[in-house]
Amino acid sequence: MEQSFDALEKECLACHKCALCSTRKNVVFGVGKTDAEVMFIGEGPGEQEDIKGEPFVGRAGMLLDLMLDAVDLGRDKNIYIANIVKCRPPHNRDPLPEEQDCCIDWLLRQIELIKPQIIVCLGRISAMRFVDPDIKITRQHGEFIEKDGILMMATLHPAALLRNPAQKPDAFADFLKLREQINRVCEHTY
Ligand code: URA
């Protein structure tokens, strides 16, 4: 029998598989609708996420929420948001490959239970895992590929957009493409 989502979360909150558990304040499991047809996958929690135990609640998260809202998506409404690693890497460094390998099974199990039609990778680290290990995100963002029956697309990370606002129109164009794909393949998102 399939494990329930709540049981998976409970198990994850007690995880001690890698060293990040010793510096975390909270495990950031994920947020949103567990029947979502669209999943967003970021890299790992930052300071605010670590404090609150929820993904994308800092400045980058506020920008993400604005872009989501512009295409009628929202974490309280019709999507699920999670990260490649569930615990904050110290000083917001990139999660190490071994930390990602240790943690990825939680995310794969979330995907297995949610069964999304579409996965949107936020930034390079997530895109390397799901779209293409050699991805050049500045060139390949907004391109949809299908893997195991799931449409996958990488877009620019909202934290990168805060650093380089000139890229915001490119990211917004990705969200408009996402809306088209949702209209094409999803049944109850809109
Ligand atoms: N950046 C991420 O990739 N994930 C978060 O949850 C917050 C910031």
- pLDDT for 67-123, tens place per residue? 999 999 999 999 999 999 999 999 989 999 999 999 999 999 999 999 999 999 999
Give the pLDDT band (50/70/90) at residue 129: very high
Q: Can you give the pLDDT at residue 3?
A: 80
Asked if residue 75 belongs to a domain, the reply is: yes
Asked if residue 71 belongs to a domain, the reply is: yes
Given a cut of 70, whether residue 66 has pLDDT beyond it is: yes
Q: What is the mean pLDDT of residues 160-189?
A: 98
Asked if residue 187 belongs to a domain, the reply is: no
Beta strands at 31-32 and 79-83: parallel, antiparallel or unpaired = antiparallel
Nearest atom, ligand 1, residue 54 CA: 6
Q: Can you give the pLDDT at residue 158?
A: 98
Q: What is the mean pLDDT of residues 42-58?
A: 98
- Per the structure, how many domains does the chain have? 1
SS3 78: coil
Distance 134 CA to ligand 1 centre (A): 21
The CATH code of the domain that includes 45 is 3.40.470.10
Given a cut of 90, whether residue 2 has pLDDT beyond it is: no
φ/ψ of residue 12, rounded to 5: -65, -40
Asked if residue 169 belongs to a domain, the reply is: yes
Give me 188's structure tokens. 């109850």
Asked if residue 188 belongs to a domain, the reply is: no
| DSSP one-letter string for 11-51 | HHHT--SSGGGGT-SS----EE-TT-SEEEEES---HHHHH
Distance 1 CA to ligand 1 centre (A): 32
Distance 65 CA to ligand 1 centre (A): 12
| Boundaries of domain holding 164 | 5-182
Whose alpha carbon is nearest atom 7 of ligand 1? 56
Asked if residue 166 belongs to a domain, the reply is: yes
CA distance 57 to 50: 10
Q: Is 60 in the pocket of ligand 1 (CB under 6 A)?
A: yes
Give me 124's structure tokens. 């390079």
Q: Is 42 in the pocket of ligand 1 (CB under 6 A)?
A: yes
Asked if residue 14 belongs to a domain, the reply is: yes
Give the pLDDT band (50/70/90) at residue 39: very high
Q: Can you give the pLDDT at residue 1?
A: 58
Distance 93 CA to ligand 1 centre (A): 11
Give the pLDDT band (50/70/90) at residue 41: very high
The Cβ of residue 184 has, within 10 Å, a number of other Cβ atoms equal to 10
Asked if residue 190 belongs to a domain, the reply is: no
